Structure 1
Amino acid sequence: MRLDKFLKVSRLIKRRTVAKDVSDQGRVLLNGREAKPGAVVKPGDELEIQFGQRIVTVRIEKLSESAKKEDTQEMYTVLKEEYRKNENEGPSFP
């Protein structure tokens, strides 16, 4: 399955065109390497997606051509979610 389609079907990203744009900007890593929208993904692959200052790392569990909203959580497992501090900002307090 194509990367951009997986991101849309799994609802990690709402629209396929947005998933394509994010991939084209180099904000998606597939198994540690920059991935293009047409890259083929398979179960067991790890994706690292940058959403602004937030970086989410997920492992693909299963592929499906279409999925209901409640079934999308079975498609991936969130491994890590971190926030990258902007270097121009002062200290941040939790």
Structure 2
Amino acid sequence: MRLDKFLKVSRLIKRRTLAKEVADQGRIQVNGLQAKASSTVKEGDELVIRFGQRIVTISVDRLQETTRKEEAAMMYTILKEEKVGSAE
């Protein structure tokens, strides 16, 4: 499954266009490598996503083409969540 589609279906990012922008800005890594919106995501992959001042590390548990809001959180597990200072 494409990275941007996974982020939208899992509801980590609300819109696919926004997921594409975040990936194109270099703020997402898949298994330690810089990822593009078109990168393929598989079950077991580890994603590191930078949301502003937060870095969230998740593990992909399940891939689904569509999902209900209540089930979206079952598609991934949050491994780590950390705040980043504004001075980098």
CA distance in 2, matches of 1:45, 1:23: 16
Between Structure 1 and Structure 2, how many residues are aligned? 88
Distance 1:34 1:75 in 2: 21
Taking only aligned residues, the RMSD between alpha carbons, in angstroms, comes to: 1.0
Equivalent in the alignment of 1:91:
none
Q: What residue in structure 1 maps to residue 32 of structure 2?
A: 32
Aligned partners of 2:87 and 2:42: how far apart in 1? 35
**Structure 1 stretches of 4+ moved >2 Å:** none
In 1, the alpha carbon distance for the partners of 2:7 and 2:15 equals 8
Computing the radius of gyration from Cα coordinates, the structure with the larger value is 1
CA distance in 1, matches of 2:16, 2:70: 19
1:47 aligns with 2:41: no
Correspondence for 2:64: 64
Q: Deviations over 1:2-54 (max 9, x none)?
A: 00000000000000000000000000000011000000100000000000010
Asked whether 1:3 is paired with 2:3, we answer yes
Query: Which residue type is aligned with residue 72 of structure 1?
Result: A
Q: Which residue of 2 aligns with 1:23?
A: 23
Question: TM-score, normalising length from structure 1?
Answer: 0.91
- Structure 2 unaligned regions, length at least 5: none
TM-score (norm. length: structure 2):
0.97
- Mark the runs of 5 or more structure 1 residues left unpaired by the alignment: 89-94
Residue identity over aligned pairs, in percent, reads: 60
